Amino acid sequence: MQKRKVSTKQRNRICDRCGHENEAKAIECTKCGGERFAPSWVIAKRPITNHVCVEITSSDPSYGPTTRRITLSKWWPGHSKNYNISNAEQWNAIQRIINTELYTYLGWKTDEEHVQNIQSSFKRGKSIEKTLKEIADTYPDLFSKLVDALDPTKIAKGDIDRLQLILSQILDVLSKGNTTFRKSFSEVLRKLPKELPKAIEQLEILLHSWSLQQITSVAQVVRSRLDTLALFKNRIADDRTFELKGDNSIHRILENAMWMIDERYWLLNSNSTLRNFIGREMSKQDKKKYGKKRPDFVCGSIGEKLIIAEIKRPSKTLNIEDLNQLEDYLTIAQDYTSDYRSFEAFLIGNRKATDLGRRLKYRSSSIFKVLTYTDLVQRTEKRYQEYLKPEQ
């Protein structure tokens, strides 16, 4: 991306909770009502999860000329602010926010804007050498070899016309490209101009195959989800599964695959600190039940919603005591933090006691939900039924 002039209008106050821009004299956020504002060096802010956000910040002028940069931050009690991107979904969310909302604060142009500018130069009849140089300034890693290799005096008129059309297509693809495409394209560049006609044909094939790469990428995500679903079905059928702890526990499997409960929860941000705190408090309150063994459950958030899920072993019948335990989790969580505005708690097991349904009528249906293994698996399989069909 190339820099362009950034306006220097009076800086607004950025809400520390939701990132909304308020007037400079605001005392509370006009969007969410929050009364805390980000420091003056924060120019723009977008929350990704409850404790993770991406910001545009201004560097400390005492260290040299002021610059603007992207800052990723994560907060949780008693821990550092370093943020590790743990999955592709979070990274895609960050990219989407930066590329569609925040890039203008930096004075950058998007790849799409570069593509439009260069494509318009084709229409104005700009020479191919000058256009290629312009492309190289934007994508030097891919096009420097191409610019150096091409000698217009040695290229047939028909080849120039074809190459010009293909370059226009490549620009559009590059704005959505990935590492695989870039490597494949680089391989083709090495053959120019030595094998120009053959290389141009390969460029055309590569562009055609790009749509297949996108399909393959989606297919890989679906395949991974189907494998996770199969693993989950296998684990919940065996009581011994519930003896496993740590990353291999049934709760951690579900915590990393909350899309099984609700597709909106595919970006769940696990909160192990809060989970451990609740576990310690529950152990203190009920030493007879837990002893030194803390309860294991799913604990995470989406935005300002806290989500907790408890899976019971197949031999146990879900009852009102289990529902009360979920309520205890939420109560302790509220004592620990006030960051959450809404809650959802799932109780999952093999079967339900007959009186549990009647008792649920007196609990908020927007907060407490009871699912059997069959409910959870069948709902997920229904959403993915097209992919579960055997190949013909």
pLDDT of amino acid 218 = 63
Helix (H) or strand (E) holding 222: helix 196-236
Extract the tokens encoding 72.
Answer: 């990723």
Average pLDDT, the chain: 77
Q: 7 versus 183: which is more confidently predicted?
A: 183
Structural domain boundaries of the chain? 13-99, 111-215, 239-388
Q: Could you tell me the sign of the dihedral formed by the alpha carbons of 193, 198, 203, 206, in that order?
A: negative
Q: What is the mean pLDDT of residues 193-221?
A: 64
Q: What is the mean pLDDT of residues 287-307?
A: 82
Any idea which residue has 């891919």 for tokens? 142
Mean pLDDT comparison of 114-128, 245-259, 318-332, highest-scoring range: 318-332
Q: How confident is the model at residue 4 (pLDDT cuts 50, 70, 90)?
A: very low
Q: What is the mean pLDDT of residues 349-369?
A: 86
pLDDT of amino acid 371 = 93
Please list, in sequence order, all residues whose beta carbon lies within 8 angstroms of the beta carbon of residue 52, skipping any fewer than 6 positions away. 72, 73, 74, 83, 90, 269
Q: 228 versus 52: which is more confidently predicted?
A: 228
Mean pLDDT comparison of 79-93, 206-220, 276-290, 363-377, highest-scoring range: 363-377
pLDDT of amino acid 286 = 76
pLDDT digits (tens, 9 = 90+) for 91-103: 778 877 887 778 7
Least confident residue range of 2-16, 67-81, 367-381: 2-16
Please list, in sequence order, all residues whose beta carbon lies within 8 angstroms of the beta carbon of residue 222, skipping any fewer than 6 positions away. 384, 387
Whether domain 239-388 has CATH 3.40.1350 = yes
Q: What is the identity of the amino acid at 81?
A: K
CA nearest to 163, candidates 137, 135, 136, 199: 199
CA nearest to 261, candidates 325, 346, 318: 346
Does position 29 have pLDDT exceeding 80, yes or no?
yes
Q: What is the mean pLDDT of residues 237-255?
A: 82
Q: Could you tell me the sign of the dihedral formed by the alpha carbons of 217, 223, 225, 228, in that order?
A: negative
pLDDT of amino acid 22 = 93
Burial of 358 (0-12, 13-18, 19+ CB in 10 A): exposed
Is the distance from CB of 335 to CB of 276 less than 8 angstroms? no
CA distance 349 to 237: 10
